[in-house]
Amino acid sequence: MTQFSEFHSIPALGEALRSRRISAAELAADALRAARGYRDPNVFLHIDDDLTLAQARAADQALADGQAGPLTGIPIAHKDLFVTRGWRTTAASRMLADYVSPFDATVVDHLRQAGAVSLGKLSCDEFAMGSGNENSAFGPVCNPWDADRIPGGSSGGSAAAVAAGLVLGATGTDTGGSVRQPAAYCGVSGIKPTYGTVSRYGIIAYASSLDQAGPLARSARDLVPLLDTMSGFDPQDSTSLESCDGRPNASGRIQADFDAAQSVFQAAGDQPLKGLRIGVPREFFNEGLAADVGAAIESALQVFESLGATRVDISLPRTRLSIPAYYVIAPAEASSNLSRYDGVRYGHRAAQYTDLADMTSRSRSEGFGDEVRRRILVGTYVLSHGYYDAYYLQAQRVRRMIVDDFQRALSQDCDVIMGPVTPGTARRIGDNRQDPIADWLGDIYTLGVSLAGLPGMSIPCGFGGDSGRLPIGLQIVGRYFDEGRLLALADRYQQTTDWHQRTPEHA
């Protein structure tokens, strides 16, 4: 256990740092020892003590000068999809095994300027392609609750590090559920904001119209300063939004919205959520949902009802179509984005080859893993002449229909949508090795939110599985730019329950 584990939350640790009861340098040194000594060596892909301790000393100086913010001195770590100066950025792939970026991603830069202290780079599925963190070229990550189970993916290293208490917060990326699903499997909180809220500059691209960065932490309250710091317009990212419903997309917006929602809740007394309509999609509760997951979600919904909210039955009729639509669009964009890794301009180059074409073929075959090659092939096929209209354009039309389903529900029927994150609890490592499509089908509840670009989050709401000790997550989906209120709703739930406070036995 680390020294900071006794403080339980980012606000509590921040107060201890500001009161000088503990120093950032002491925390960083302790966290580095814990990270290096953790039972799963695959969680971190690169640690550099000198870089971390230099950031910690800078945080201590800011604290001494009275210039500390809510994240000054807080130990965090970054998914290995964010480029970083000093630390390697590999995207968990042999293709980029020794790459060190000359600049920081915008998200990394924002958190560093806010005083957060990075311990290094966390494992993920290769180029963010996967749902179990088994596709890393450097070995799978284990779930802290059960070492035989996956932590989820692609941000599995981030979720595992938070669950194990190695950091208080971590960055992740969510293309089709890759923040929410590992958060659910590891019993932590995670949020994917509205597409365009957080800059993608410096994030190694998988599917550009879907990729969005988001934080993972123990609780919703811990997510607030992390997401608030990460957010903001970035002119270096062509998909970054300048405004959110007429307001500037800038740091401070999410914290202000969170505080405003909390004020409304507090004024309502013992029924803080009175008037809130929770949409529950009937398509999320079918034969594919495990009984233990369904029971946990039902219990969570009853807690919200006890706080004054009203449950509304809604329909998202194209839920099943989100899987084929996503697995046409995302691989198509991946095929385009990863074409730059050819052994000439970027990445691994084969040692032996006969000509340029052979060099490219061998370099890509050696550098990319099975899942990445699979998705590149699918994407190249659906973009090829004769199939573009039949597959890619058709998938984009279905995407528009899925957006319309969510828009209709959130504008006419309900204020937020709640349901499961995953059909079941974390599976065993290697279970789907011979059937990768089974993992794709497990994304059914998260893909539609990503295709629509809506904000969505996962918070712990119970346990299940064969042992009864595997975490279950509740998904909360809101309207565009509604991150602050989603976090406030989650915080209200977490004030009433203690699922988010429970930790793995050996963490």
Inside any domain, residue 198: yes
Clarify whether 79 is annotated catalytic: yes
User: Can you give the CATH number for the domain in which 166 is found?
Assistant: 3.90.1300.10
Q: Catalytic: 154?
A: yes
Domain that holds residue 261: 3-267
Task: Please give the sequence-ordered ranges of beta strands (E in DSSP) within 88-127, or none if there are none.
Answer: 117-122
Tell me which of 154, 158, 251, 450 is the catalytic residue: 154
**What average pLDDT does range 424-450 have in this prediction?**
91
- pLDDT tens digits, one per residue of 51-83: 999 999 999 999 999 999 999 999 999 999 999
Helix axes 322-337, 394-408, angle to 10 degrees: 130
pLDDT tens-place string over residues 419-432: 999 999 999 999 98
Residue 4 above 90 pLDDT? no
Whole-angstrom distance, CA of residue 69 vs CA of residue 385: 54
The tally of domains found in the chain comes to 1
- Read off the pLDDT of residues 309-348 as tens digits, 9 standing for 90 and up: 999 999 999 999 999 999 999 999 999 999 999 988 778 9
Answer yes or no: is pLDDT of 242 > 70.
yes
Q: Per-residue pLDDT for 1 more than 60?
A: no
The tens digit of pLDDT for each residue in 95-134 reads 999 999 999 999 999 999 999 999 999 999 999 999 999 9
Q: Is 100 inside a domain boundary?
A: yes
Segment holding 212, helix H or strand E: strand 212-217
pLDDT score at 99: 94
| Share of residues in the chain with pLDDT > 70 (%) | 99
Whether residue 173 is contained in a domain is answered as yes
Residue 281 lies in a domain: no
Q: Is residue 389 part of a domain?
A: no
Beta strands across the sheet bearing 189-192: 44-46, 117-122, 75-79, 169-174, 212-217, 189-192, 456-464, 470-477, 416-420, 277-281, 310-314
335 part of the active site: no
Question: 84 CB contacts (<8 Å, ≥6 apart)?
Answer: 78, 101, 104, 105, 108, 118, 121
Alpha helices in 199-252 (DSSP H): 220-230
| Residue from 101, 178, 219, 231 carrying the catalytic annotation | 178
% of the chain at pLDDT higher than 90: 93
Question: Rounded to a whole number, what is the distance in angstroms from the first to the last CA of the chain?
Answer: 7
Instruction: Give the model's pLDDT for residue 328.
Output: 97
Whole-structure pTM value: 0.96
User: Which residue shows structure tokens 């179990």?
Assistant: 132
Q: Quick: pLDDT tens for 204-234.
A: 999 999 999 999 999 999 999 999 999 999 9
Distances (CA, A) of 144 to 6, 151, 163, 173, 174: 18, 8, 7, 20, 21
Q: Is residue 208 included in any domain, yes or no?
A: yes
Residue 298 in any domain: the answer is no
pLDDT tens-digit map of 343-392: 887 789 999 999 999 999 999 999 999 999 999 999 999 999 889 999 99
- 2 has pLDDT over 80: no
Confidence of residue 505 (pLDDT cuts 50, 70, 90): confident
- CA–CA distance, 144 with 507 (Å, rounded to integer): 7
